[in-house]
Amino acid sequence: MSVTPAPDEDDHPDTHPPQPVYYAEQALLGALLLQPHRLNDITEIEPDAFSHPAHRALFTAIRTLAAPDPAQHAKNTKWLDEVLATAHEHTRGLTTSYLHTLIQICPSPSHASAYTRMIETDHARRTLEHHAHRLTQTATDATLSQPVAATLAAADALTACLADLAARFPPHPGSLPRTPAPPPPQAQDADDEAVDEERFLLATATAHPAETAQMRWLTVQDFTHPLHAGLWQCLTALTRRGAPVDPVTVLWEAQQRGLLTAGVEPAGLLNLLTATAGSPQYWGERILQRSLLTTAHETGRRIEAYTDDPATTPYQLVIGSRRALADLNALRTRWDHATSPTPPGSRPTRTRAATPPRTGPPRTATPPTTRISR
């Protein structure tokens, strides 16, 4: 089969060579133009499944017009002329010559169903890629007033897309994708805002250990600084044991856990643990939000990597994407626990509002200027 570009590609040249799905589209259109009755066998496909505008317009026209009488269709081009005229309503540049070319290059009209499945498969890949890209972009959009709500809505749309693909493409053995996960972002020091939030949490949690005991939705994986994660383990261990909690007891626990390494001075830790502002709940929600958005961004990148691999089958996309979403779903559950109203009687000291996180309290103290190395 010779390479036959679509009519309007001469006006807008594309440096990328056509992909296999392009030829599948040409083959299917050629089959339908030659034998229009085969449209009855491929009712499940929609025009938006076609990757090229000219092909979408032609398929829409074929599906809109009544099929011609086979005997008359073999004798004249009246129906082809009607298809061309109808397609012109949606795109420009189509010619009678291109329609005849499509007919000539179709390998076998009887394979129309196979061509259709190829087109549907590529469309599924593009659709999933769109949702994954949207999740990635939403998770890093600093202009959003409710970033978590918007990110979770994008994740819901992606999950719904996966459910649709799973229904249309049956499972088969060996369904795990072989595409390697994208490399993690280049390691960088945590930004100052994240470090300050973690420091405020550790200080306020030390001052209010009873409230800290209710924050089981926050884990060490949510912290950006390894030392801060270790100190959070110290705090939660002390509260679980019912041991006294203050800066000195936390410092001693940190020593027992091997956190006082080179560059981590006891005086610096004591300074960190006494710079309180706000409440543990507020800072914990801020840290958990950052962790959720970071995980959502990494999840979107991983799914995009799957969609970029043409060797990945639709059901492999479903299985791999669902696994990629597992960590985000787990974080979502913890976020719901953190931001949902407290059940009556479970925490009598105070009740809290539902999502989103509360506006930050005025800072009555500044973070300690002493920086502790990782």
pLDDT of residue 299: 96
Instruction: Convert the pLDDT of each residue in 25-40 to its tens digit.
Output: 999 999 999 999 999 9
Range with the lowest mean pLDDT among 96-105, 202-211, 358-367?
A: 358-367
Q: Read off the pLDDT of each residue in 353-369 and give the average, rounded to a whole number.
A: 47
Range with the lowest mean pLDDT among 80-94, 206-220, 360-374?
A: 360-374
Q: Where residue 364 falls among pLDDT bands split at 50, 70, 90? A: very low
pLDDT of residue 1: 52
pLDDT of residue 230: 95
Count of alpha carbons within 13 angstroms of residue 348, beta-carbon side: 1
- N- to C-terminal Cα separation, the chain: 61
CB contact set of 126 (below 8 Å; sequence gap of 6+): 51, 307
Residue type, 212: T
Q: Where residue 190 falls among pLDDT bands split at 50, 70, 90? A: low
Return the SS3 of 372.
coil
Contact between residue 66 and residue 83 where contact means Cβ atoms under 8 Å apart: no
Q: Read off the pLDDT of each residue in 343-364 and give the average, rounded to a whole number.
A: 47
Q: Which of 133, 177, 136, 132 is nearest to 159 (CA)?
A: 132
Instruction: Convert the pLDDT of each residue in 125-141 to its tens digit.
Output: 999 999 999 999 999 99
Q: Which of 212, 220, 208, 276 is nearest to 240 (CA)?
A: 212
Q: Read off the pLDDT of each residue in 262-283 and give the average, rounded to a whole number.
A: 89
Q: Where residue 185 falls among pLDDT bands split at 50, 70, 90? A: low
What is the C-alpha to C-alpha distance for residues 102 and 176, in angstroms, rounded to an integer? 37
What is the C-alpha to C-alpha distance for residues 264 and 183, in angstroms, rounded to an integer? 30
On the question of pLDDT at 42 being above 50, the answer is yes
pLDDT of residue 188: 52
Q: Read off the pLDDT of each residue in 167-172 and give the average, rounded to a whole number.
A: 83
On the question of pLDDT at 65 being above 90, the answer is yes
pLDDT of residue 370: 45
Sign of CA dihedral 255, 259, 263, 266: negative
Q: Where residue 170 falls among pLDDT bands split at 50, 70, 90? A: confident
Between 200 and 171, whose confidence is greater?
200
CB contact set of 241 (below 8 Å; sequence gap of 6+): none
230 dihedral zone (left: phi>0; alpha: psi -120 to 50; beta): alpha
pLDDT of residue 176: 72
Residue type, 369: T
Domains and CATH numbers, the chain: 7-107 (1.10.860), 121-180+291-336 (no CATH), 192-288 (1.10.860.10)
What is the C-alpha to C-alpha distance for residues 145 and 221, in angstroms, rounded to an integer? 25
What is the C-alpha to C-alpha distance for residues 99 and 33, in angstroms, rounded to an integer? 8
Q: Where residue 349 falls among pLDDT bands split at 50, 70, 90? A: very low
What is the C-alpha to C-alpha distance for residues 330 and 335, in angstroms, rounded to an integer? 9
